[in-house]
Amino acid sequence: MRQDSLGHVRVAIDGPSGAGKSTVAKRVANAISADYIDTGAMYRAIALKLIREGVEPASDGDDRLAALLAATVVDFSGGRAMLDGVDVTADIRSADVTLTASRCSALPSVREKLVELQRAMGRAKSVVMDGRDIGTNVFPDAEYKFFLTASAEERAKRRYAEITARGDKADYGEVLRSIEKRDYDDSHRALNPLARADDAVLVDTDGIGIEEVTEKILSYMV
């Protein structure tokens, strides 16, 4: 397997929401004994703090936002999302946080803080990182890069099944519309939009199981 000069491997797994990135990334990390880092969870943790403190995510350059970011500690270790030392893994999955995370991920000051943290993680250990800009921006020189896709319909079906499986109500049309809106917002923001790096391997997960996708990715990592 390829390694950087410190003996670490950095695997970038990017793609739109619902393409199965986190499940696959976790399995790949396990298989190669690297740490799994969910960068979306880091944006979500900041969003949760903004909501709790009542700070609007539309106000970059705002003193309150700068003060809040300076006083916020975000981490993702041992598979848990940590905000100021508290495990917020469950709290960051609400619809409210999802919406705010998408908005705050467009703010330069938020991205700057999290990208710096993510790069530091990659310097300290081997990582499998999932997100939107890992292969294009966080680690342009990652040892391995993958871009996972699936049609919006397939991703909406998966999300719908996930929500109803935990006993919650959902409307398929609404789930699909919200996925399409997030795709649009994530790929049209000015700063580090969702995009496939030229040298990333494209993996279409439509109709393919998690097991098969994981195997496919691992087959490149020799």
Q: Which residues bind ligand DC (CB under 6 A)?
A: 17, 39-41, 43-44, 101-102, 105, 131-133, 182, 186
CB nearer to ligand DC: give 5 or 65.
Answer: 65
Between residues 43 and 146, which has the closer beta carbon with respect to ligand DC? 43
**At closest approach, how far in Å is the CB of 216 from ligand DC?**
21
Q: How far is the CB of 16 from ligand DC (least distance, A)?
A: 9
Residue 214 Cβ vs ligand DC, minimum distance, rounded to whole Å: 18
Among candidates 94, 89, 91, which has minimal Cα distance to 76?
89
Q: State the minimum distance, in angstroms, from the CB of residue 121 to ligand DC.
A: 13
If you ran DSSP here, which 8-state letter would residue 79 be given? Answer: T
Angle between the N-to-C axes of helices 95-104 and 172-188, in degrees from 0 to 180, rounded to the nearest 10: 20
What's the chain's length in residues?
Answer: 222
Contact 11, 144 (CB under 8 A): yes
Burial group, residue 129, by CB count within 10 angstroms (0-12, 13-18, 19+): buried
Residue 184 C-beta: closest distance to ligand DC, Å: 11
Q: Kindly give, in sequence order, each residue whose CB lies less than 8 Å from that of residue 164, ignoring residues fewer than 6 positions away.
A: 170
The residue (of 1 and 52) whose beta carbon lies closer to ligand DC is 52
Nearest approach, Cβ of residue 222 and ligand DC (Å): 26
Q: Which is nearer to ligand DC, 135 or 214 (CB)?
A: 135
CB contact at 8 A, 145 and 2: no
* C-beta of 39 vs 126, nearer to ligand DC: 39
Is 71 in contact with 55 (CB distance < 8 Å)?
A: no
CB closer to ligand DC, 10 vs 132 = 132
* Amino acid sitting at position 118: Q
